[in-house]
Structure 1
Amino acid sequence: MNSSISPADVTIRPITGADEIALFNRLPYTINHELADDLVAQRRRPEWMWVALHGDRVLARVAWWGRGGDSTPLLLDILDIEDGAEDLTDVAQALYDTAAKQVLPSGTTPPEYGRFLPADWREDPDTYLAVRRRMGVLENTGAHLTVERLRLEWRPGGGLPAPDARLAFRPALDTDELVALMTRTLDGTLDAHSRTDLAQMSPHEAAVKHYEQELATFSSPRQWWRIGTLGEDGEPIGFVVPARNTYHPVIAYLGVVPEHRGHGYVDGLLAEGTRILAAEDVPRIRAATDLGNVPMANAFARAGYVNFERAINMAWQ
């Protein structure tokens, strides 16, 4: 069914501030409860949060996210359209095009799009249609799907995974050593974002980029990070980075060096990272891995992590 509302009949504008969060949140999404705090912490700005209105009805909305104090956004993470029989794709397209021209610096590549989805989104016809409509808006601007990911969660009721008696652990306090291990683990990686980086830069450059843009931004203790070794004085087999991001305790990164793969050490690394965070009495631990990274997904399942959502990422490169 085509929409009876054309973009010409719609008011497209940014929200005025925190006073319009309730208006912005009229369209449902799993992170709505975070948006007010994001504004306070300047991870979002009113001028990065736009709505398409027909009277007082919110037809569509779009918003970008950044780290506190950033002058330009790092991620497009909200693009919602009022669900129903009425096709409002043209309205959403006009909203995105208008907002992007105002929010994003002229001549730059738009930041990546990330979207959380129900775990069964492909099986439910209505959810699938809603997701495809959103993706279609961005595809019309040149974006393409880069990866689908599993979002995973461990809760204390599931019990701690068993440790690996073959491994010993020490804090990963030496940045050069950690980056060197990260560089080695990129050999043969199944991670889509890492593979994209490796097509554009050396493994060492890709490791430094990931360290500086993600790991170095965590405010949780560096002492939580662990390097796993074969016995107390053995060689490193890999590392795990348990941390707390802006919203949740997370297993932020885990890697096994190529020469030690195939021996089940991933389970010991994941068990150690989970144990460290569980000792902080956290209510949950979050993690994610690419849908195509079957070995890592299986390791999370063995450790008691449950796939509660999926996520898709789209990019313009």
Structure 2
Amino acid sequence: MEQHDLTLRPITGREELGLFNRFPYVLNEELADDLADGRRLPGWMWVALRGDRPLARLAWWGRAGERTPSVLDIFDLADDAAEVGDRVGLGERLLRTALAEVLPEGARRPEYTRFVPPDWREGEENRRAVEDRMAALERTGAALFVERLRLEWRPGTPVPAPGGRLAFRPIRDTEEILTLMTRVLAGTLDAHSRDDLTRMSAREAAVRHFEEELAVYRSPRDWWRIATLPDGEPVGFVTPARNDYNFVIGYLAVLPEHRGNGYIDEILAEGTRILAAQDVPRIRAATDLGNTPMANAFRRLGYVNFERAITMTWD
């Protein structure tokens, strides 16, 4: 679509990645593999161009084989985009145009997630970039859903030896982990889980989480651990894993009746030890900014908050 000398269109394919990647962003290095593996499609990757100069871009991601994307995870506005008038307005036009073409009529819009510096509110340039993107999204009806901490453990960071209060064993089967995932949703502080519980039962939410994330990990389930008291009673669990991009602490939880006893530290340490033993370059994890107990557990074990993630959703 052209507006005066402004063109809004999807990229033609992998040959236009150089054009698309003129905006610096941490996900750029993954885009070629994503296209090759089907996690992105050229039709899901849009640019706003004046001549051959990109002024804005956006892209969705989805699991290979999906016909509609799962998340809008790239959205950038060039500093000189204001030359077309309203920089935020340009972002809104690109969003509206691409949304109308990519998503079937009546389909729910996938959430927007953007990685930002951990101190993004402190610098004028970073704050303006984040706020302009958010303003463009808000003009299309999106609203802030949650801000999350992105965390990283690096080799050489000490991990304490087992404390002895808990024993650890592999999961017995899928039903066991689903039952525990259902139980830990009581009193959860996780924004996505709380939102799921407004629309479905705890069991349904657990099954959805398992099928969309845990079931597609590339690593063996033998790494997952159930934490128990000496008599065998489950206390919590952790799922150290490998996703499409990193080694991760995928799910970490303590059962409601055992919270407040400091078990979270021992369970996280066990999951970290399992991955560290694989000689990994790093371990990634994430938790909501408002989930203070979980954030503090990662901090105590030496995980560094290297980024934050802004998530916005449409009703």
User: What's the TM-score once normalised by structure 1's chain length?
Assistant: 0.95
Tell whether the 8 Å contact from 2:239 to 2:252 is kept in structure 1 after alignment: yes
Q: Which amino acid aligns with 1:45?
A: L
Q: What's 1:213 paired with?
A: 212
- Aligned counterparts of 2:245 and 2:313: Cα–Cα separation in 1: 24
Moved over 4 A (4+): none
Partner-residue secondary structure (3-state), 2:16: helix
- Aligned counterparts of 2:110 and 2:36: Cα–Cα separation in 1: 22
Q: What's 1:3 paired with?
A: none
> Residue deviations 1:188-220, cap 9 Å, x none?
110000000111111111111111111111121
Q: What's 2:62 paired with?
A: 66
- Aligned counterparts of 1:91 and 1:8: Cα–Cα separation in 2: 13
> Residue deviations 1:11-69, cap 9 Å, x none?
11111111000100001111111111110011001011010100111100010000112
Shift of 1:266: 0.4
Tell whether the 8 Å contact from 2:148 to 2:310 is kept in structure 1 after alignment: yes
Tell whether the 8 Å contact from 2:117 to 2:306 is kept in structure 1 after alignment: yes
Q: Which amino acid aligns with 2:4?
A: A
- Aligned counterparts of 2:64 and 2:208: Cα–Cα separation in 1: 19
Q: What's 2:30 paired with?
A: 34
Partner-residue secondary structure (3-state), 1:158: coil
- 2:109 is aligned with 1:110: yes
Shift of 1:281: 0.4
User: What stretches of structure 1 of length at least 5 have no aligned partner?
Assistant: 1-5
> Residue deviations 1:107-138, cap 9 Å, x none?
11100101000000011111111111111111
Q: What's 1:57 paired with?
A: 53
Q: Which amino acid aligns with 2:112?
A: Y
Q: What's 2:137 paired with?
A: 138
Partner-residue secondary structure (3-state), 1:114: strand
Q: What's 2:301 paired with?
A: 303
Shift of 1:85: 8.2
Tell whether the 8 Å contact from 2:5 to 2:51 is kept in structure 1 after alignment: no
Shift of 1:172: 1.4
Residue pairs, 1:150-299, within 5 angstroms: 150-231=149-230, 233-299=231-297
- Aligned counterparts of 2:122 and 2:81: Cα–Cα separation in 1: 19
Tell whether the 8 Å contact from 1:220 to 1:243 is kept in structure 2 after alignment: yes
Tell whether the 8 Å contact from 1:52 to 1:61 is kept in structure 2 after alignment: yes
Shift of 1:162: 3.6
Q: Which amino acid aligns with 1:262?
A: G
- Aligned counterparts of 2:304 and 2:184: Cα–Cα separation in 1: 25
- Aligned counterparts of 1:15 and 1:235: Cα–Cα separation in 2: 54
Partner-residue secondary structure (3-state), 2:156: helix
Q: Which amino acid aligns with 1:100?
A: L
Q: Which amino acid aligns with 2:13?
A: G
- Quote the sequence identity (%): 65
Tell whether the 8 Å contact from 1:7 to 1:91 is kept in structure 2 after alignment: no
- Aligned counterparts of 1:293 and 1:164: Cα–Cα separation in 2: 24
Shift of 1:259: 0.9
Q: Which amino acid aligns with 1:289?
A: T
User: What's the TM-score once normalised by structure 2's chain length?
Assistant: 0.96
- 2:76 is aligned with 1:90: no
Q: Provide the aligned C-alpha RMSD in A.
A: 1.3
Aligned length, in residue pairs: 311
- Aligned counterparts of 1:194 and 1:203: Cα–Cα separation in 2: 9
Determine which of 71, 80, 85 is the counterpart of 1:75: 71
- Aligned counterparts of 2:224 and 2:234: Cα–Cα separation in 1: 14
Determine which of 14, 23, 29 is the counterpart of 2:10: 14
Tell whether the 8 Å contact from 1:118 to 1:308 is kept in structure 2 after alignment: yes
Tell whether the 8 Å contact from 1:173 to 1:222 is kept in structure 2 after alignment: no
Tell whether the 8 Å contact from 1:164 to 1:267 is kept in structure 2 after alignment: no
Partner-residue secondary structure (3-state), 2:141: coil
Tell whether the 8 Å contact from 2:5 to 2:50 is kept in structure 1 after alignment: yes
Residue pairs, 1:113-128, within 5 angstroms: 113-128=112-127
- Aligned counterparts of 1:7 and 1:242: Cα–Cα separation in 2: 49
- Aligned counterparts of 1:134 and 1:180: Cα–Cα separation in 2: 40
- Aligned counterparts of 1:85 and 1:13: Cα–Cα separation in 2: 16
Shift of 1:164: 2.5
Q: Which amino acid aligns with 2:20?
A: F
